[in-house]
Structure 1
Amino acid sequence: MKKFDNGNDRYDYSAIISRGVYDWPGQRRLAVYFALNIEGFELGRNPGNDFTSMPSAPYHRGYAYRDYGNRVGVWRIHRLFEQFEFPLAILANGSVYDVCPEVLDAFRRRGDEMVGHGRTNSERQADMTPEAERGMLQDVRAMFERYEGRPPAGWLGPFISQSPQTPELLKELGWTYMLDWWFDDQPMWFRTNNGPILAVPYPSMELNDLPAYVNRGASDKEFTRMAIDAFDEQLEESAQYPMVYCLSLHTFLTGQPHRIRQLRRILSHIARHRDQIWLTTPGAIAEHVVQLPPGTVPIR
């Protein structure tokens, strides 16, 4: 019988129950990180649905809604994470450095990780030629080097969009991990023609406030329940093998006053288990995996 070819040559099937077991730092088994999307948009270019109807030019409602996140919502989130002393991964568009640099200044002072997230959320990699995409990635890298003193280790494409050549370009230009592919609860090596790049788990579909609220119509309380239930379940499962839990937030969604109260409930619950988990960032997760003995994380 002819072997079925599913067209995916990027990684092999690997059952989580059949892999080698390892620990995170402190002999913990559940790594927990929070990703905060801080995005910039261009007025007149479609920023996405404004959640009431499909927008039309000049897309001012969607632009204004998202701008609220950088003017007001982000400061509520910043204050809450300061109170709980939780680290953050900041998924930053390069344009934020130009439009509202004081936002990123505040998280830099906290020592949070800065993750590359495109030039602006008004463009998608899937729409770019290889030359244009390479230029965009080079622009982002140069901007991070200018403001952060070093290039970003991690990448998440705007709209979680990739072109066929994105993994190769990321590896070529020095990125060590990406968040675009969520196919596991553990970091996995991902093949490129330029050598492997690490895929760190990121909740692109589930524990991400944007698809939860906008695409699936979850209520604020439902999202809180999902976030807490997932944490509790993964904490129990981590007795068997290491796992990654991540909550993905957007400033203009979770930064609304009614949702900050829900986020406080989530963080309060997780804080009660602080001594059982590794509160970290995706960059630290990637660094830990790279240092594991060869073969611990499957790659062929």
Structure 2
Amino acid sequence: MLPTHGRYEYAAWRGRTPYAWPGGALLAVYLGVNLEHFAFGEGLGAELAPGGPQPDVLNYAWRDYGNRVGAWRLLDLLESLDLPATVLLNSALYEHAPELVAAHRARGDEIAGHGRTNAERQSVLTEAEEAKLIAEATAAIRRHEGKAPCGWLSPWIAESRATPDLLAEAGYGYTMNWCADDAPFWMTTRAGRLLAMPYPQEVNDIPAIVARKDGAAAFADMILDDFHERLAQTADGLPQVMGIALHPYIIGQPHRMRHLRRALAEIASHRAAVCITTAGAICEHISALPPGVVPGSEWVR
């Protein structure tokens, strides 16, 4: 037998129990807007070009463009199309760019936990240090938003063996780290169940544009191909979740925004047939379904 994680059991796509999203749609779409801040002269960070010796001004400034400019252009686009967002927030943004977080708060976007900063990776910490990281990020969101976040995405999607346990113990309802399905499923932890929320590793501007070097038009086409194929697939009667992961320092560049607008406008035009929502609202809906409907609910409590 191969080593396993023990968090969930295999559940084949065929044969699952059908259910629907609010309004009767079978496809739910959410936008995951990653608002991230990075340390200057040290730590981790995505690169536009291979970084030189620290301080790596080129890549630091490229990333900071997202918070200064790109995120505001993305906000305008979301407003023009009346689209909600799930904000995956580094808590360091409350100090670095409080106006940006306030703008998302004002439009009622969901604020989810995304660590303190993407300059660090929680998987290399001791359990006590990781618990402290989660607690500090969570407390900052609770203090500024008036309530604790429901969802979590680890910086760099990095986990230790204890991360799901620590998230459940901290009161989280869902994690985006486990991208193993097209629909949510329940995982087990030492503190009870935790929902695995689909988060895209394909329809995501970092692997698409930074890693694979896809152009802006190709990324927009990927979004639309994914959307229309999923919409067609729901003819099998089973619900799906489509996430679109966006990083303002990448997608907020003007030449990419034009193509993103094309893709999101097309999705918005189908809002009568799909559920355009937030990850938190998806979690709330799933949590209210009876046992036996969602994979894992029959054995995870």
TM-score by length of 2: 0.96
In structure 2, the partner of 1:155 is: 152
User: Which amino acid counterpart does residue 45 of structure 2 have in structure 1?
Assistant: G
Distance 2:66 2:210 in 1: 16
Listed as ranges, the gaps of 5+ residues in structure 2 are: none
2:69 alignment partner, SS class: helix
1:239 alignment partner, SS class: helix
Distance 1:181 1:74 in 2: 26
CA contact (8 A) 1:49 1:55 kept: no
2:88 alignment partner, SS class: strand
Q: Which moved more, 1:214-223 or 1:74-83?
A: 214-223
Distance 1:48 1:147 in 2: 26
In structure 1, the partner of 2:161 is: 164
1:237 aligns with 2:230: no
1:43 aligns with 2:40: yes
1:143 aligns with 2:140: yes
Distance 2:229 2:243 in 1: 13
Map 1:275-290 onto structure 2 (within 5 A): 275-290=272-287
In structure 2, the partner of 1:219 is: 215
Aligned-pair CA distance for 1:5: 3.2
Moved over 4 A (4+): none
Select 2:290's aligned residue among 287, 290, 293.
Answer: 293
CA contact (8 A) 1:44 1:59 kept: yes
In structure 2, the partner of 1:20 is: 17
Distance 1:207 1:68 in 2: 22
CA contact (8 A) 1:21 1:242 kept: yes
Select 2:7's aligned residue among 6, 10, 26.
Answer: 10
Alpha carbons of structure 1 residues 249 and 49: separation in structure 2 relative to 1, 3 Å = closer
Distance 1:209 1:69 in 2: 13
TM-score by length of 1: 0.96
Map 1:105-116 onto structure 2 (within 5 A): 105-116=102-113
In structure 1, the partner of 2:66 is: 69
1:208 aligns with 2:204: yes
Q: Which moved more, 1:42-51 or 1:245-254?
A: 42-51
1:189 alignment partner, SS class: strand
Distance 1:178 1:14 in 2: 18
Q: String of CA shifts for 1:101-151, please: whole Å, max 9, x gaps.
A: 000000100000001000111110111111111111111111011100011
In structure 1, the partner of 2:224 is: 228
Distance 1:229 1:170 in 2: 34
1:119 aligns with 2:124: no
Distance 1:81 1:227 in 2: 16
Aligned-pair CA distance for 1:59: 2.1
